[in-house]
Amino acid sequence: MLKNRFRKYLPVVVDIETGGFDPEVNAILEIAITLIEEKENKFHTW
């Protein structure tokens, strides 16, 4: 089960869109987070 693999940690996917590669010049444009859940031995996101 997913909860046994990650113990107390919550599995998430984080996507960060930036305006470039230099953090001193280019801004973060968008941040998206998706939670992962296991139901009936299949992974679902919400």
Per-residue pLDDT 10s for the chain (46 aa) are 666 666 666 778 899 999 999 989 999 999 998 888 877 877 777 6
In the chain, alpha helices (H): 2-6
Per-residue pLDDT, 41: 78
**By residue range, what is the domain housing residue 15?**
2-45
Per-residue pLDDT, 4: 67
CA atoms of 18 and 30, how far apart (whole Å): 7
- Is the pTM of the predicted complex or chain greater than 0.85? no
Is residue 34 within 8 Å of residue 45, measured between CB atoms? yes
Per-residue pLDDT, 24: 92
CA atoms of 46 and 44, how far apart (whole Å): 7
Q: How many domains does the chain have?
A: 1
